[in-house]
Amino acid sequence: MPFSSGVNGSSAAYPAPSASSVQKFPEGFLWGISTAAHQVEGGNCNNQWSDWEAAGRIRSGDSCGLACDWWNNAEVDFDLAQGMGLNSLRLSVEWSRIEPEEGEWNPKAIERYRQMLDGLRRRGIRPMICLHHFTHPRWFEAKGAFLAPGAGVLFERFARHVVRELKDLCQDWVTFNEPNVFAALGYVMGDFPPGRTGEVVTAVRTINAFALAHARAYRAIHEVQPEARVGWAHNYVVFQPANAKSGPDRWIAGLLSELFNESFLRIIEHGRLSFPLNLTNGSLSEVQGTCDFIGLNVYSRFHVSFGLQHASQLFGNVFVPPDVPQGDPGVDKPYGEAYPQAIRAAVKRTAGLGKPIYILENGVPDATDRIRPWLIVNAVREVHSLIQEGHDIRGYFHWTLTDNFEWSEGWRLRFGLLALDPVTQQRTMRNSGRLYSAIVRGNQLTPALEAEYVLPVNSAR
């Protein structure tokens, strides 16, 4: 999800690979990929994103269509994942298929998800399920979504239903994908439904509502499946003051980080927000401690300067300088600086919660595979050194296996280890897919792999 409003570079110098030794991962380390229902299944036309698309809000003008055709044939990608040696895969279930009208359950949807989970397990791939990845049914949106009274109860009921039906096939559950992204893009930037801009207080209230719904689901899932492991996926962004000597730049970078990175985390950690954000809610104490693991989605660094003309974004100008590593740009915005070191920042920030950590998303939009191999090598290296330092990181899930429908950017941004032609559904393995597979199969990164796959420097776009 592009986040910035500013400059986009045209070329970049990339740090050369420099590993000199084999970096071996612990036995049982999870190597996976992540996906989301709306982005891969195709044919989802009963959620708020299908309305967003019908309203012409996909910037590229694309339609989601069949997406990767998972509803009919996810198995083609499961075979490819198995062939690459992956041992885990994160997918999400589509609430609008399972509960198409309020209180009406669709057994056929559950049956298809059971088939998919069974298919993964038979291929030696451990599934992790996310219950809400940005989409929900129209009827839920019409009620006011998570800001409506009673939303948490409805989400809890959905979570109970799903876990009751699928618990023999899955043990790892992510309640929500990125409440902070949903809130920032939906209420501040206007890039996601409901498309509002500058509503910072509503964004914080949305995060609070997600937190309460998460806590209800966390307890419900444990009631239904005592051995379940439940967490959420937290998007972590590095906000870099454009000028480290400028007080206003440092202040705005700190404020954006507090709002974006810290809010949900603080609620989980302490059961409350810090002042003055805590004025936006009633008690959140029931949320404290409701996670068995921390899921981190980490992609980017954004540079931030203070600017009076950016009043709707709290006077923050969020931009990407031209001379940093970047993937492909969005339709009218840069995606962000490709910054594998953000993994270190995210792990350091969350390690204090004392829970196992999974990197649940990391990737770059890169149709021609210009920098993805570089990104993978550096991300894997970062994870390895954090494990060596004693951090309990249990898995790395790349975003994503096969190019999928990238929200408001449509087919414009390509994140796959495999390229997809959405018309023919033809998949083509990218070089980065071969690299990732070699790392996964060996459970290690070697200097030879780096030398073979990573371009040293200066690959122009």
Name which of 156 and 361 has its Cβ closer to ligand BGC.
Answer: 361
Considering only 182, 302, 399, 436, the residue that binds ligand BGC (CB under 6 A) is 399
Name which of 210 and 306 has its Cβ closer to ligand BGC.
Answer: 210
**Residue 212 touches ligand BGC, criterion: CB under 6 A:** no
CB atoms within 10 A of CB 226: 7
Name which of 362 and 378 has its Cβ closer to ligand BGC.
Answer: 362
Considering only 109, 154, 166, 181, the residue that binds ligand BGC (CB under 6 A) is 181
Cα-flanking dihedrals φ and ψ of residue 338, to 5°?
Answer: -75, 115
Q: How many helices (H) and strands (E) does the chain have?
A: 16, 14
* 92-95-100 Cα angle (round to 5): 150
Name which of 40 and 120 has its Cβ closer to ligand BGC.
Answer: 40
- Tokens 């062939």 identify what position? 83
At 117, which amino acid appears?
Answer: L
In whole angstroms, the minimum distance from the beta carbon of 156 to ligand BGC comes to: 22
Ranges within 413-432 binding ligand BGC (CB under 6 A): 415
**Residue 411 touches ligand BGC, criterion: CB under 6 A:** no
- Measured from each CB, the residue nearest to ligand BGC is 1
At 90, which amino acid appears?
Answer: R
For residues 389 and 25, give the distance between their C-alpha atoms in angstroms, rounded to a whole number.
13
Considering only 4, 82, 96, 177, the residue that binds ligand BGC (CB under 6 A) is 177
Name which of 58 and 220 has its Cβ closer to ligand BGC.
Answer: 58
Mark residues 358-397: x for contact with ligand BGC by CB under 6 A, - for none. Answer: ---x------------------------------------
**Residue 166 touches ligand BGC, criterion: CB under 6 A:** no
The answer to whether the CB of 32 falls within 8 A of the CB of 398 is yes
Considering only 77, 156, 172, 178, the residue that binds ligand BGC (CB under 6 A) is 178
For residue 88, list its beta bridge partners: 32, 126
Which of the ranges 176-184, 311-319, 343-351, 379-387 carries the binding residues for ligand BGC, by CB under 6 A? 176-184
Cα-flanking dihedrals φ and ψ of residue 35, to 5°?
Answer: -140, 175
Sequence-distant (≥ 6) Cβ neighbours of residue 378 within 8 angstroms: 15, 340, 341
The answer to whether the CB of 320 falls within 8 A of the CB of 357 is no
Which of the ranges 60-68, 177-185, 272-280, 282-290 carries the binding residues for ligand BGC, by CB under 6 A? 177-185
**Residue 36 touches ligand BGC, criterion: CB under 6 A:** yes
For residues 384 and 259, give the distance between their C-alpha atoms in angstroms, rounded to a whole number.
29
| Secondary structure class of 11 (helix, strand, coil) | coil
- Tokens 């899955």 identify what position? 170
For residues 174 and 235, give the distance between their C-alpha atoms in angstroms, rounded to a whole number.
13
Write the DSSP assignment of 22-76 as a string of letters.
Answer: -EEPPTT-EEEEE--HHHHS----SBHHHHHHHTT--TT----TTTT-HHHHTHH
Name which of 374 and 411 has its Cβ closer to ligand BGC.
Answer: 411
Binding residues for ligand BGC, rule CB under 6 A, total: 11
| Secondary structure class of 301 (helix, strand, coil) | strand
**Residue 297 touches ligand BGC, criterion: CB under 6 A:** yes
Ranges within 220-259 binding ligand BGC (CB under 6 A): 235
For residues 161 and 110, give the distance between their C-alpha atoms in angstroms, rounded to a whole number.
10
Binding site for ligand BGC (CB under 6 A): 1, 36, 177-178, 181, 235, 297, 361, 399, 406, 415
